Amino acid sequence: MKALMFGWEFPPHILGGLGTASYGLTRGMSLQPDMDITFVIPRPWGDEDQSFLRIIGANSIPVPGRGCIEFSGRYPDNLLEEIGNYEAVARELAWREPCDIIHAHDWLTYPAGIAVKQMTGKPLVIHVHATDFDRSRGNVNPTVFAIEKRGMDEADHIMCVSNLTRQTVIEKYGQDPGKVSTVHNAVEPLANRDRFVKHERKDKIVTFLGRITMQKGPEYFVEAAARVLAKTDGVRFVMAGSGDMMEKMIDLVAQRGIADKFHFPGFMRGEEVQTILADSDVYIMPSVSEPFGISPLEAMQVGCPTIISHQSGCAEILSHAVKIDYWDIDAMADAIYAIVKYPAMYASLHKLGEEEVNTIRWYDAGLKVRKVYDQVITHRR
């Protein structure tokens, strides 16, 4: 089985969850003995791990009349132009890279996937890691929506990272439920888990970690923090990361008069993430709309009790995490209070959460994807 995949990010140079998921999924799938994956990204950096798949850079494939095209590999202002160029490269690859199935990750690569499908007649599956409804809290960009919708219409099958996203795809993009399935994300096992330890300290630490944007619901975290602090001493709140709402959040923290207990350490990278999670007493992700959300799983891997919103896809597969509605700041404050005040709450989430997350494997997600491939291919014949 030869799969030609189109993606936008691949570790170690990643900007969001898409890259992490692309890596985990392909690695999990590569454990199937007859699976052969070619992964196209706009711009490789050369230090990607190619031990289990082959990576092709779109910037290294000459296009007739234009030669090799430069890609930023990020999300630049002329993103639509890059998407178009990526599609042009895909047309070249259609001939060079024969495959059994085409697999496109997120809207940026849908046009490329469609192009190859049209030229080769091979089936196309698309993987929805997010929709514009998640990114924009309902304020969709019509151009993006059109690209997403066309990708879904043209796809032979649509895989979504959660039932939540599946529902969006069915309801907002008018897709036939029979053609849309859910393949929940997983998490890579953590190497050297022992390196990440919790240090004894006087104050309990409650951590928010991620882009400080509307989608992640940072303001609800601040409000919940204010409620906890009104009643309790010995708790500190951390909002790690950066984003367009950061200044607004700093203002809000000052307005609530909790700036002495609320900290903004900035963007964290690499192992800093695990280090701060392992050292926290609570990790919280109050996302307003999260197609999946891999970071709670990363927190659980280092034994950090986790609070997530019901509006996060990962809530569908986790039992040992506290779930609240993102807008329910009373419930959020209550959950934070319980974890820092009732030892059994911490102990239980710490121990059982880590056990649970270690059973969520990319290999199993890969098997589900493979089942979809097999179905789609048989169906075409």
Partner 1 sequence: MTNICFCFQMHVPYRLKRYRFFDIGNDHYYYDDLATEELVQHVATTSYIPLCQTVKEMIKLSKGKFRCAFAVSGATIDLFRQFAPELIDLLQDLNQTDAVEWVAAPFAYSLASEYNKAEWTEQMNRHAQTIKELFNKQPAIIWNTEMLYSDDIAGYAQELGYKGVMTEGAKHIISWQSTGHLYASAVAPKMRVLVRNAQLSDELAFRFSDPTWTAFPMDAEKYADILQQQDEQEIINLWVGAETFGIRQTQATGIFDFLKALPYYVLEREMGFITPSDAIKRLTATETLSVPYPITWAGEAKDLSTFNGNDLQQEALTKLYAVAERVRLCPSKRLKADWINLQDISHLHYMGHQDSGISPYDSPYDAFINYMNVLSDFLQLVDEQYPSSIDNEELNSLLRTIANQEEEINRLKQQLSKTKKTKTK
The C-alpha atoms of residue 376 and residue 379 are separated, in whole angstroms, by 5
Among 351, 371, 379, 380, binds partner 1 (CB under 8 A): 351
The C-alpha atoms of residue 40 and residue 56 are separated, in whole angstroms, by 5
Q: How far is the CB of 226 from partner 1 (least distance, A)?
A: 11
Among 120, 136, 242, 348, binds partner 1 (CB under 8 A): 348
Among 63, 140, 190, 345, binds partner 1 (CB under 8 A): 345
Residues 169-228 that bind partner 1 (CB under 8 A): 227
Q: How far is the CB of 235 from partner 1 (least distance, A)?
A: 12
Q: Which is nearer to partner 1, 23 or 337 (CB)?
A: 337
Among 118, 342, 355, 379, binds partner 1 (CB under 8 A): 342
How many residues would you count in the chain?
A: 381
Other residues' Cβ atoms within 10 Å of the Cβ of residue 163? 15
Cα distances from 326 to residues 71, 183, 218, 254, in angstroms, run 37, 24, 10, 22
Among 173, 337, 362, 373, binds partner 1 (CB under 8 A): 337
User: How many Cα atoms occupy the beta-carbon half-sphere of 269 within 13 Å?
Assistant: 6
| Contact call for residue 322 and partner 1 (CB under 8 A) | yes
| Contact call for residue 375 and partner 1 (CB under 8 A) | no
Q: Which two tokens stand for residue 147?
A: 């690209």
Q: How far is the CB of 292 from partner 1 (least distance, A)?
A: 20
Q: How far is the CB of 282 from partner 1 (least distance, A)?
A: 12
Counting beta carbons within 10 angstroms of the beta carbon of residue 248, is it exposed (0 to 12), middle (13 to 18) or buried (19 or more)?
middle
Q: Which is nearer to partner 1, 153 or 355 (CB)?
A: 355
Q: Which stretch binds partner 1 (CB under 8 A): 39-47, 158-166, 215-223, 318-326?
A: 318-326
| Contact call for residue 323 and partner 1 (CB under 8 A) | yes
Q: In what order do the strands lie in the sheet with 235-240?
A: 262-266, 235-240, 204-209, 282-285, 306-309, 322-324
Q: Which is nearer to partner 1, 139 or 319 (CB)?
A: 319
Q: How far is the CB of 309 from partner 1 (least distance, A)?
A: 13
Q: Which is nearer to partner 1, 92 or 316 (CB)?
A: 316
Q: Which two tokens stand for residue 144?
A: 């993006």
Closest to 317 measured CA to CA, from 381, 364, 376: 364
Q: How many residues bind partner 1 (CB under 8 A)?
A: 23
| Contact call for residue 349 and partner 1 (CB under 8 A) | yes
Q: How far is the CB of 66 from partner 1 (least distance, A)?
A: 56
Which residues sit opposite 55 in a β-bridge?
39
The C-alpha atoms of residue 277 and residue 89 are separated, in whole angstroms, by 41
The C-alpha atoms of residue 236 and residue 205 are separated, in whole angstroms, by 5
The C-alpha atoms of residue 322 and residue 357 are separated, in whole angstroms, by 14
Task: State the binding string over 224-253 for partner 1 (x if CB under 8 A, else -).
Answer: ---x--xx----------------------
Kindly report whether the peptide bond that precedes residue 98 is cis, defined as omega within 30 degrees of 0.
Answer: no
Q: How far is the CB of 228 from partner 1 (least distance, A)?
A: 8
Q: Which is nearer to partner 1, 161 or 235 (CB)?
A: 235
Q: In the chain, count of helices (H) and strands (E)? A: 13, 13
Q: How far is the CB of 359 from partner 1 (least distance, A)?
A: 14
| Crossing angle of the two packed helices 110-120 and 142-154, in degrees rounded to 10 | 30
Residue type present at position 316: E
Note the residues at the interface with partner 1 (CB under 8 A): 227, 230-231, 319, 322-323, 330-331, 333-335, 337-338, 341-345, 347-349, 351-352
